[in-house]
A and B are shown apart, each in its own frame.
Chain A
């Protein structure tokens, strides 16, 4: 599974870690994140992310 980077703040979404603070379980692929998921650092949506 690929990592994705927020083009605004540089946060990297690592599917192996998920985003547990926002109820995203480890092992969740970026593609499977819910559409309303937001960058935990700066708050922008998935469309601002690029493959890292």
Chain B
């Protein structure tokens, strides 16, 4: 139910998007939510972030259930991306077009580029600036590149609540609203979010976690702009972010492949069995069936990426180009790599895959494995042996 009271005078007035299944190329099997927060204090009424544009009316209704929206004194925009800013111009139109919008320096730049036809009263806040609302004080924390240049966090010291924008969020819509209403499965959604959205900025996240620790903030609650709010154990998600940002891995490999006449798939199966024989956890992933966003989620804590493609028109399969280009952009670090594939005559695919692995900075265990047309008994045994070698290479990194 929204509005959702999260503390005295503080409400989540955002919207659940139950039906979205593709969030700019990220598969959202459970939908998502656009959380927005209304703070009603003695002197000021504040809205932190808005929602995706088509949900503007729902946001307005939710606000209306708490207070007359015209009473909102100003809006804080923690992040300019349209899932949180889309409703901004219409909301301003309804609450008073000249009401200030507090944002970071880069936020002003990004928002004005999004809403270039609108005259909006942007007020740039510096990190550390404090604003009295009555009983409460708002302050702003620099969170540049987490995950856009404009990103910032808003904090209320009296309640120890951190409004963390996209960080610590999950694309997950459910009847539950808080971490204590959920089991461990919640972390899988948070992990997917991290792997797909925040991974490129892992080193920055480590720095941010350090500086947040140094600030010694009381954190009773972390409220991200998507999904479940952390009120019982906010420290748990901070701890996971540390592990994920350090890119800690398990003895685990993922084998991603596509296949033309099942030859590369046969190789994949043997490689998977070989890896499994060494006791290393392994997931075979046909990229026809596994969405790229799930592939990177599984890659996050894997030690090795094994890639297979047949040679098609002197190149690799387009499905693998999709996944590899996506992985590359997310900049995973510290992985082992291996390539394989069947071919008919020229057989360039493995060489191309090797190059892709090199560009990503993965340590290749060797130059890969190829099989002519349809792998025979000998080629299958070789593939199994290759899997064993990959497994052993992972184990030796222990």
Query: In chain A between 1 and 47, which residues have their CB closer than 8 angstroms to a CB of chain B?
Result: 8-10, 41-42
Q: Which residues of B contact A (CB under 8 A)?
A: 106, 142, 144-145, 149, 201, 204
Contacts of B106 in A (CB 8 A): 8
Main secondary structure of the interface of A (DSSP, over half): loop
Q: What are 14 A-B contacts defined by CB distance under 8 Å?
A: A8-B106, A8-B149, A9-B144, A9-B145, A9-B149, A10-B142, A10-B144, A10-B145, A10-B149, A41-B145, A41-B201, A41-B204, A42-B145, A42-B149
Give A36 Cβ to nearest chain B Cβ, in Å. Answer: 16
Question: Nearest Cβ distance between residue A18 and chain B, in whole angstroms?
Answer: 16
B106 to chain A, nearest CB (A): 7
Within the assembled complex, what's the spacing in Å between the Cα atoms of A8 and B110? Answer: 11
- Specify the chain B residue showing the minimal Cβ separation from A44: B149
Query: Which secondary structure characterizes the binding site on chain B?
Result: mixed
Q: How far is the CB of A11 from chain B (nearest CB, A)?
A: 8
Minimum C-beta distance from A27 to chain B (A): 22
> Beyond A9-B149, A10-B144, A10-B145: 11 further Cβ-contacts under 8 Å?
A8-B106, A8-B149, A9-B144, A9-B145, A10-B142, A10-B149, A41-B145, A41-B201, A41-B204, A42-B145, A42-B149
A residues in contact with B145, CB < 8 Å: 9-10, 41-42
Tell me, in angstroms, the Cα distance from A10 to B148 when the chains sit together: 11
B265 CB → nearest A CB, Å: 36
How distant is B141 from chain A, measured CB to nearest CB, in Å?
13
Expressed in whole angstroms, the Cα–Cα distance for A8 and B150 within the complex equals: 9
Nearest-neighbor residue (CB-CB) of B203 within chain A: A41
Docked pose: A10 CA to B204 CA in angstroms: 11
Residues of A near B201 (CB, < 8 A) are: 41
Give bound CA distance, A9 to B142, whole Å.
11
